[in-house]
Amino acid sequence: MALDRYAECNSAKLRVARFGVSVPASLRDAATRTDITTYQVRGNIAVLTGKNGKVLVDAGITASYARIEQALSKLRDQPARHLINTHRHF
């Protein structure tokens, strides 16, 4: 059963598009001065916080969600706005 799901996921079509964006100098300069704080939450889960919210790197497994949410609530009163999953769990 798990192998069937793995094969199904690997047969998905992936479309890659390359594009470029010109970033105004004022934004580039502001980015060099912006404070970003990182925290390791658990295992390979990390959080970056800034004035616009949190970025979560990896989300863990379902069984650990409550503990992760508890840890996130202690890091500034901001929502997690983005999630970067580096891999998935079966």
pLDDT score recorded for residue 28: 78
Alpha helices in 1-90 (DSSP H): 2-10, 25-33, 65-73
What pLDDT does residue 1 have?
46
Domain ranges in the chain are 36-90
**55-82 per-position pLDDT tens digit:** 888 888 888 888 888 888 888 788 888 8
What does the pLDDT look like over 9-49, one tens digit per residue?
556 666 666 667 777 888 778 778 877 777 777 678 888 88
Residue 54 and residue 81 in contact, taking contact as beta carbons nearer than 8 Å: yes
- The 10s digit of each residue's pLDDT in 16-25 is 666 677 778 8
Q: What letter represents residue 28's amino acid?
A: R
Contact 54, 47 (CB under 8 A): yes
28's CB contacts (< 8 A; 6+ apart) are none
**pTM score of the predicted model:** 0.51
